[in-house]
Structure 1
Amino acid sequence: MTGQRSTYTSMETSTAEDWANFTASQPGRRALLPSRLTDMLKQLTSIDDGAPINPFAHSLQSATLAYEDGADDETVFMALFHDIGQFVSEDNHSQVSAAILKPYLSERGHWIIKHHGIFQGYYYFHHVNQDRYARDTYSDNLHYEACIEWCDKYDQRAFRRDYPSKPLEFFEPMIERVMLPDDGG
Protein backbone atom coordinates (compact mmCIF):
# COMPACT_ATOMS: atom_id res chain seq x y z
CA MET A 1 0.00 0.00 0.00
CA THR A 2 1.19 3.49 -0.73
CA GLY A 3 -0.18 5.04 2.46
CA GLN A 4 -1.25 8.03 0.39
CA ARG A 5 -4.90 8.88 0.03
CA SER A 6 -6.12 10.83 -2.97
CA THR A 7 -8.04 14.06 -2.49
CA TYR A 8 -10.46 14.02 -5.44
CA THR A 9 -14.17 14.29 -4.73
CA SER A 10 -15.30 12.74 -8.00
CA MET A 11 -13.54 10.65 -10.60
CA GLU A 12 -13.71 13.47 -13.11
CA THR A 13 -11.56 15.61 -10.79
CA SER A 14 -8.96 12.87 -10.27
CA THR A 15 -5.45 13.20 -11.62
CA ALA A 16 -2.86 10.93 -13.18
CA GLU A 17 -1.03 10.98 -9.83
CA ASP A 18 -4.17 9.73 -8.07
CA TRP A 19 -4.36 6.79 -10.44
CA ALA A 20 -0.64 6.11 -10.15
CA ASN A 21 -1.16 5.78 -6.38
CA PHE A 22 -4.13 3.49 -6.97
CA THR A 23 -2.10 1.29 -9.30
CA ALA A 24 0.88 1.22 -6.93
CA SER A 25 -1.32 -0.02 -4.08
CA GLN A 26 -2.89 -2.80 -6.16
CA PRO A 27 -0.42 -5.61 -5.26
CA GLY A 28 -0.98 -5.01 -1.55
CA ARG A 29 -4.74 -5.07 -1.98
CA ARG A 30 -4.52 -8.19 -4.12
CA ALA A 31 -2.48 -10.01 -1.46
CA LEU A 32 -5.36 -9.52 1.00
CA LEU A 33 -7.96 -11.22 -1.21
CA PRO A 34 -7.45 -14.80 0.07
CA SER A 35 -7.94 -13.75 3.70
CA ARG A 36 -10.98 -11.65 2.78
CA LEU A 37 -12.56 -14.63 1.04
CA THR A 38 -11.82 -16.99 3.94
CA ASP A 39 -13.24 -14.43 6.39
CA MET A 40 -16.41 -14.41 4.32
CA LEU A 41 -16.47 -18.21 4.33
CA LYS A 42 -16.23 -18.27 8.14
CA GLN A 43 -19.41 -16.19 8.29
CA LEU A 44 -21.32 -19.23 7.02
CA THR A 45 -21.17 -20.57 10.60
CA SER A 46 -23.89 -18.04 11.46
CA ILE A 47 -26.41 -19.65 9.10
CA ASP A 48 -28.80 -22.17 10.62
CA ASP A 49 -30.66 -23.69 7.69
CA GLY A 50 -31.74 -26.86 9.46
CA ALA A 51 -29.17 -29.05 7.69
CA PRO A 52 -27.24 -31.62 9.77
CA ILE A 53 -24.21 -29.26 9.80
CA ASN A 54 -23.82 -25.53 9.17
CA PRO A 55 -22.74 -24.31 5.71
CA PHE A 56 -19.16 -23.61 6.89
CA ALA A 57 -18.74 -27.19 8.14
CA HIS A 58 -20.36 -28.41 4.90
CA SER A 59 -17.83 -26.39 2.90
CA LEU A 60 -14.88 -27.85 4.80
CA GLN A 61 -16.27 -31.35 4.40
CA SER A 62 -16.86 -30.82 0.69
CA ALA A 63 -13.29 -29.58 0.21
CA THR A 64 -11.91 -32.45 2.27
CA LEU A 65 -13.79 -34.96 0.12
CA ALA A 66 -12.34 -33.38 -3.02
CA TYR A 67 -8.83 -33.28 -1.56
CA GLU A 68 -8.99 -36.90 -0.38
CA ASP A 69 -10.24 -37.89 -3.84
CA GLY A 70 -7.03 -36.47 -5.34
CA ALA A 71 -8.81 -33.60 -7.08
CA ASP A 72 -6.80 -30.70 -8.50
CA ASP A 73 -6.51 -27.36 -6.69
CA GLU A 74 -9.31 -25.72 -8.66
CA THR A 75 -11.75 -28.52 -7.80
CA VAL A 76 -10.86 -28.39 -4.10
CA PHE A 77 -11.16 -24.58 -4.18
CA MET A 78 -14.59 -24.91 -5.81
CA ALA A 79 -15.68 -27.37 -3.13
CA LEU A 80 -14.50 -25.07 -0.37
CA PHE A 81 -16.18 -21.92 -1.66
CA HIS A 82 -19.16 -23.20 -3.69
CA ASP A 83 -21.72 -21.99 -1.15
CA ILE A 84 -20.08 -18.66 -0.24
CA GLY A 85 -23.04 -16.88 -1.85
CA GLN A 86 -25.36 -18.23 0.85
CA PHE A 87 -24.05 -15.52 3.16
CA VAL A 88 -25.86 -12.87 1.14
CA SER A 89 -28.48 -14.75 -0.90
CA GLU A 90 -30.71 -17.75 -0.32
CA ASP A 91 -32.53 -17.95 -3.64
CA ASN A 92 -29.61 -17.63 -6.04
CA HIS A 93 -26.58 -18.51 -3.97
CA SER A 94 -25.06 -20.50 -6.83
CA GLN A 95 -25.01 -17.48 -9.12
CA VAL A 96 -23.67 -15.22 -6.36
CA SER A 97 -20.93 -17.75 -5.53
CA ALA A 98 -20.04 -18.05 -9.22
CA ALA A 99 -19.77 -14.27 -9.60
CA ILE A 100 -17.45 -14.01 -6.59
CA LEU A 101 -15.26 -16.91 -7.70
CA LYS A 102 -15.20 -16.20 -11.45
CA PRO A 103 -11.78 -14.46 -11.50
CA TYR A 104 -10.18 -17.59 -10.04
CA LEU A 105 -11.88 -20.35 -12.02
CA SER A 106 -11.72 -21.85 -15.47
CA GLU A 107 -14.79 -21.55 -17.66
CA ARG A 108 -15.71 -25.12 -16.64
CA GLY A 109 -15.29 -24.41 -12.94
CA HIS A 110 -17.34 -21.24 -13.15
CA TRP A 111 -20.13 -23.06 -14.99
CA ILE A 112 -20.26 -25.82 -12.39
CA ILE A 113 -20.48 -23.38 -9.48
CA LYS A 114 -23.07 -21.25 -11.26
CA HIS A 115 -25.33 -24.25 -11.90
CA HIS A 116 -24.66 -26.49 -8.90
CA GLY A 117 -27.83 -25.38 -7.11
CA ILE A 118 -30.14 -26.71 -9.80
CA PHE A 119 -28.02 -29.85 -10.22
CA GLN A 120 -28.22 -30.48 -6.47
CA GLY A 121 -31.98 -30.37 -6.86
CA TYR A 122 -31.81 -33.86 -8.31
CA TYR A 123 -31.28 -35.15 -4.78
CA TYR A 124 -34.13 -33.30 -3.06
CA PHE A 125 -36.45 -31.33 -5.39
CA HIS A 126 -38.94 -34.22 -5.42
CA HIS A 127 -39.35 -33.73 -1.66
CA VAL A 128 -40.34 -30.06 -2.10
CA ASN A 129 -42.68 -30.36 -5.09
CA GLN A 130 -40.10 -29.34 -7.68
CA ASP A 131 -38.75 -31.15 -10.72
CA ARG A 132 -35.71 -33.18 -9.73
CA TYR A 133 -34.80 -33.42 -13.42
CA ALA A 134 -34.61 -29.65 -13.89
CA ARG A 135 -30.88 -30.04 -14.48
CA ASP A 136 -31.65 -31.84 -17.75
CA THR A 137 -32.37 -28.43 -19.27
CA TYR A 138 -28.57 -28.24 -19.55
CA SER A 139 -28.00 -31.75 -20.94
CA ASP A 140 -26.50 -30.38 -24.16
CA ASN A 141 -23.91 -28.31 -22.30
CA LEU A 142 -20.27 -29.35 -22.45
CA HIS A 143 -20.06 -29.28 -18.63
CA TYR A 144 -23.31 -31.11 -17.85
CA GLU A 145 -21.72 -34.45 -16.90
CA ALA A 146 -18.89 -32.75 -15.00
CA CYS A 147 -21.42 -30.84 -12.91
CA ILE A 148 -23.36 -34.02 -12.16
CA GLU A 149 -20.15 -35.74 -11.05
CA TRP A 150 -18.92 -32.77 -8.99
CA CYS A 151 -22.24 -32.43 -7.18
CA ASP A 152 -22.45 -36.16 -6.51
CA LYS A 153 -18.91 -36.59 -5.24
CA TYR A 154 -18.26 -33.37 -3.36
CA ASP A 155 -21.47 -31.54 -2.53
CA GLN A 156 -24.44 -33.81 -1.85
CA ARG A 157 -22.35 -36.23 0.25
CA ALA A 158 -20.90 -33.56 2.56
CA PHE A 159 -23.38 -33.43 5.44
CA ARG A 160 -21.95 -35.95 7.92
CA ARG A 161 -21.64 -34.71 11.48
CA ASP A 162 -18.83 -37.12 12.35
CA TYR A 163 -16.68 -36.63 9.25
CA PRO A 164 -13.06 -35.68 10.05
CA SER A 165 -12.85 -32.60 7.83
CA LYS A 166 -9.56 -30.78 7.40
CA PRO A 167 -9.44 -27.37 9.11
CA LEU A 168 -9.56 -24.22 7.03
CA GLU A 169 -5.86 -23.59 7.70
CA PHE A 170 -5.01 -26.79 5.87
CA PHE A 171 -6.44 -25.31 2.67
CA GLU A 172 -4.74 -21.89 2.90
CA PRO A 173 -1.74 -22.75 0.67
CA MET A 174 -4.10 -24.08 -1.99
CA ILE A 175 -6.29 -20.97 -1.72
CA GLU A 176 -3.24 -18.80 -2.36
CA ARG A 177 -2.13 -20.95 -5.30
CA VAL A 178 -5.55 -20.56 -6.91
CA MET A 179 -6.11 -16.88 -6.12
CA LEU A 180 -2.56 -15.57 -6.48
CA PRO A 181 -0.93 -17.76 -9.14
CA ASP A 182 1.35 -15.00 -10.41
CA ASP A 183 2.56 -14.24 -6.90
CA GLY A 184 4.02 -17.69 -6.32
CA GLY A 185 0.96 -18.57 -4.19
Structure 2
Amino acid sequence: MSEQRATFRAMQEGTAEDWSLIASHFRPFAQQLPDRILTHLKLLDGDFGGFPIDRLQHSLQTATRAHRDGRDEEYVICALLHDIGDTLGSYNHPDIAAAMLKPFVSAENLWMVEKHGVFQGYYFFHHLGMDRHLREQFKDHPLYQRTAEFCALYDAPAFDPDYPTEPLSFFEPMLRRVFARPRQSMYA
Protein backbone atom coordinates (compact mmCIF):
# COMPACT_ATOMS: atom_id res chain seq x y z
CA MET A 1 0.00 0.00 0.00
CA SER A 2 1.49 3.33 -1.00
CA GLU A 3 1.52 6.33 1.28
CA GLN A 4 -1.01 9.04 0.47
CA ARG A 5 0.71 12.25 -0.61
CA ALA A 6 -0.17 15.84 -1.42
CA THR A 7 -0.95 16.50 -5.07
CA PHE A 8 0.67 19.90 -5.68
CA ARG A 9 3.82 20.54 -7.69
CA ALA A 10 4.41 23.99 -6.16
CA MET A 11 3.39 25.14 -2.68
CA GLN A 12 1.09 27.84 -4.00
CA GLU A 13 -1.01 25.12 -5.65
CA GLY A 14 -1.58 23.29 -2.34
CA THR A 15 -5.10 22.79 -1.10
CA ALA A 16 -6.48 22.57 2.44
CA GLU A 17 -6.71 18.80 1.92
CA ASP A 18 -3.04 18.64 0.90
CA TRP A 19 -1.95 20.58 3.99
CA SER A 20 -4.21 18.55 6.26
CA LEU A 21 -2.54 15.42 4.96
CA ILE A 22 0.93 16.89 5.45
CA ALA A 23 0.01 18.05 8.97
CA SER A 24 -1.17 14.53 9.83
CA HIS A 25 2.34 13.27 9.02
CA PHE A 26 4.14 16.00 10.96
CA ARG A 27 3.44 14.88 14.54
CA PRO A 28 4.67 11.27 14.09
CA PHE A 29 7.74 12.58 12.28
CA ALA A 30 8.44 15.18 15.00
CA GLN A 31 8.07 12.54 17.71
CA GLN A 32 10.98 10.66 16.15
CA LEU A 33 13.34 13.63 16.61
CA PRO A 34 15.09 12.11 19.66
CA ASP A 35 15.85 8.98 17.62
CA ARG A 36 17.37 11.07 14.82
CA ILE A 37 19.43 13.03 17.34
CA LEU A 38 20.75 9.82 18.91
CA THR A 39 21.63 8.48 15.46
CA HIS A 40 23.49 11.68 14.64
CA LEU A 41 25.34 11.64 17.95
CA LYS A 42 26.57 8.15 17.11
CA LEU A 43 28.24 9.60 14.00
CA LEU A 44 30.71 11.23 16.40
CA ASP A 45 31.87 7.78 17.57
CA GLY A 46 35.40 7.08 16.34
CA ASP A 47 35.85 10.65 15.05
CA PHE A 48 38.95 11.82 16.91
CA GLY A 49 40.02 14.78 14.79
CA GLY A 50 43.39 14.64 16.55
CA PHE A 51 41.86 14.90 20.04
CA PRO A 52 42.77 12.43 22.84
CA ILE A 53 39.23 10.99 22.77
CA ASP A 54 36.62 10.84 20.02
CA ARG A 55 33.91 13.45 19.68
CA LEU A 56 31.19 11.17 21.08
CA GLN A 57 33.24 10.46 24.22
CA HIS A 58 33.89 14.19 24.60
CA SER A 59 30.16 14.89 24.39
CA LEU A 60 29.35 12.11 26.84
CA GLN A 61 32.09 13.24 29.19
CA THR A 62 30.91 16.87 29.11
CA ALA A 63 27.35 15.74 29.95
CA THR A 64 28.57 13.32 32.63
CA ARG A 65 30.53 16.07 34.34
CA ALA A 66 27.53 18.42 34.27
CA HIS A 67 25.22 15.68 35.56
CA ARG A 68 27.56 14.71 38.42
CA ASP A 69 27.79 18.38 39.35
CA GLY A 70 24.01 18.47 39.87
CA ARG A 71 22.96 20.40 36.78
CA ASP A 72 19.35 19.99 35.65
CA GLU A 73 18.40 17.72 32.74
CA GLU A 74 18.09 20.51 30.21
CA TYR A 75 21.58 21.78 31.01
CA VAL A 76 22.96 18.22 30.86
CA ILE A 77 21.38 17.66 27.45
CA CYS A 78 22.83 20.95 26.24
CA ALA A 79 26.21 19.67 27.44
CA LEU A 80 25.63 16.39 25.60
CA LEU A 81 24.67 18.10 22.33
CA HIS A 82 26.94 21.15 22.39
CA ASP A 83 29.27 19.70 19.71
CA ILE A 84 26.75 17.68 17.69
CA GLY A 85 27.21 20.15 14.84
CA ASP A 86 30.87 19.19 14.35
CA THR A 87 30.07 16.85 11.46
CA LEU A 88 27.79 19.24 9.56
CA GLY A 89 29.20 22.63 10.52
CA SER A 90 32.94 22.43 10.75
CA TYR A 91 33.14 26.23 10.78
CA ASN A 92 30.03 26.94 12.88
CA HIS A 93 29.23 23.88 14.98
CA PRO A 94 27.80 25.88 17.93
CA ASP A 95 25.20 27.45 15.62
CA ILE A 96 24.00 24.04 14.47
CA ALA A 97 23.67 22.72 18.02
CA ALA A 98 21.87 25.91 19.07
CA ALA A 99 19.46 25.79 16.12
CA MET A 100 18.52 22.22 17.00
CA LEU A 101 18.04 23.03 20.70
CA LYS A 102 16.28 26.39 20.26
CA PRO A 103 12.65 25.21 20.41
CA PHE A 104 13.30 23.06 23.49
CA VAL A 105 15.56 24.94 25.91
CA SER A 106 15.68 28.15 27.90
CA ALA A 107 17.16 31.33 26.46
CA GLU A 108 20.03 31.01 28.96
CA ASN A 109 20.98 27.50 27.86
CA LEU A 110 20.54 28.41 24.23
CA TRP A 111 22.93 31.36 24.50
CA MET A 112 25.46 29.21 26.33
CA VAL A 113 25.47 26.57 23.59
CA GLU A 114 25.47 29.13 20.80
CA LYS A 115 28.45 31.03 22.25
CA HIS A 116 30.45 28.15 23.74
CA GLY A 117 32.79 28.00 20.73
CA VAL A 118 34.17 31.50 21.18
CA PHE A 119 34.34 31.00 24.96
CA GLN A 120 36.14 27.66 24.59
CA GLY A 121 38.64 29.44 22.35
CA TYR A 122 40.11 31.02 25.48
CA TYR A 123 41.90 27.70 26.06
CA PHE A 124 43.48 27.28 22.64
CA PHE A 125 43.05 30.18 20.19
CA HIS A 126 46.43 31.64 21.13
CA HIS A 127 48.11 28.39 20.02
CA LEU A 128 46.63 28.93 16.56
CA GLY A 129 47.63 32.58 16.24
CA MET A 130 44.14 33.76 17.16
CA ASP A 131 42.96 36.05 19.93
CA ARG A 132 42.11 33.93 22.96
CA HIS A 133 40.20 36.87 24.42
CA LEU A 134 37.52 36.99 21.71
CA ARG A 135 34.96 36.09 24.35
CA GLU A 136 35.57 39.47 25.97
CA GLN A 137 33.25 41.01 23.37
CA PHE A 138 30.50 39.54 25.58
CA LYS A 139 31.99 40.62 28.95
CA ASP A 140 28.96 42.77 29.80
CA HIS A 141 26.40 40.16 28.76
CA PRO A 142 24.43 38.68 31.69
CA LEU A 143 25.26 35.14 30.52
CA TYR A 144 29.00 35.70 30.15
CA GLN A 145 29.88 34.03 33.46
CA ARG A 146 27.46 31.12 32.91
CA THR A 147 29.06 30.33 29.54
CA ALA A 148 32.64 30.77 30.80
CA GLU A 149 31.77 28.40 33.66
CA PHE A 150 30.30 25.81 31.26
CA CYS A 151 33.56 25.77 29.34
CA ALA A 152 35.81 25.78 32.41
CA LEU A 153 33.96 23.10 34.37
CA TYR A 154 32.56 20.79 31.72
CA ASP A 155 33.72 21.38 28.13
CA ALA A 156 37.43 22.17 28.47
CA PRO A 157 38.31 19.32 30.88
CA ALA A 158 36.26 16.72 28.98
CA PHE A 159 39.13 15.16 27.02
CA ASP A 160 40.32 12.69 29.65
CA PRO A 161 40.51 9.11 28.33
CA ASP A 162 40.48 7.81 31.92
CA TYR A 163 37.42 9.71 33.15
CA PRO A 164 34.56 7.31 34.07
CA THR A 165 31.97 8.49 31.57
CA GLU A 166 28.31 7.49 31.42
CA PRO A 167 27.19 5.74 28.19
CA LEU A 168 24.78 7.32 25.72
CA SER A 169 21.99 5.08 27.02
CA PHE A 170 22.26 6.84 30.40
CA PHE A 171 21.33 10.17 28.79
CA GLU A 172 18.67 8.86 26.39
CA PRO A 173 15.70 9.22 28.80
CA MET A 174 16.77 12.79 29.61
CA LEU A 175 17.10 13.62 25.92
CA ARG A 176 13.64 12.23 25.25
CA ARG A 177 12.14 14.34 28.04
CA VAL A 178 13.86 17.56 26.90
CA PHE A 179 12.76 17.00 23.29
CA ALA A 180 9.24 15.82 24.17
CA ARG A 181 7.59 19.21 23.70
CA PRO A 182 8.90 22.42 22.19
CA ARG A 183 8.65 25.56 24.33
CA GLN A 184 8.63 27.86 21.35
CA SER A 185 8.04 27.00 17.73
CA MET A 186 5.68 28.29 15.09
CA TYR A 187 4.98 24.63 14.29
CA ALA A 188 3.98 23.56 17.79
TM-score normalised over the length of structure 2:
0.91
Partner of 2:26: 26
Please say if residues 62 and 154 of structure 2, whose CA atoms lie closer than 8 Å, have aligned partners that are also in contact.
yes
Give 1:168 shift.
0.8
2:175 maps to amino acid: I
Partner of 1:66: 66
Give 1:46 shift.
4.8
Partner of 2:82: 82
Partner of 1:158: 158
Please say if residues 119 and 147 of structure 2, whose CA atoms lie closer than 8 Å, have aligned partners that are also in contact.
yes
1:149 maps to amino acid: E
Give the 4+ runs in structure 1 shifted more than 3 A. Answer: none
Residues of 1 paired with 2:165 and 2:7: CA distance? 48
Structure 1 SS opposite 2:103:
helix
1:43 maps to amino acid: L
CA deviations over 1:47-84 (Å, ceiling 9, x no partner): 33100011111001111111111100111011100001
Partner of 1:98: 98
Paired residues in the alignment total 180
Matches of residues 5-24 of structure 1 in structure 2 within 5 Å? 5-24=5-24
Residues of 1 paired with 2:174 and 2:58: CA distance? 18
- Are 2:33 and 1:36 equivalent residues in the alignment? no
- RMSD between superposed Cα atoms in Å: 1.4
Residues of 1 paired with 2:133 and 2:144: CA distance? 13
Partner of 2:172: 172
Unmatched runs of 5 consecutive residues or more in structure 2: 183-188
Higher helix share: 1
Residues of 2 paired with 1:129 and 1:114: CA distance? 23
Identity %, equivalent residues: 43
TM-score normalised over the length of structure 1:
0.92
CA deviations over 1:88-110 (Å, ceiling 9, x no partner): 12221112221122112211111
Structure 1 SS opposite 2:43:
helix
1:136 maps to amino acid: E
Residues of 1 paired with 2:116 and 2:46: CA distance? 22
Residues of 2 paired with 1:17 and 1:4: CA distance? 11
1:137 maps to amino acid: Q
Structure 1 SS opposite 2:141:
coil
Residues of 2 paired with 1:14 and 1:46: CA distance? 44
Please say if residues 104 and 181 of structure 2, whose CA atoms lie closer than 8 Å, have aligned partners that are also in contact.
no
1:35 maps to amino acid: D
Give 1:125 shift.
1.5
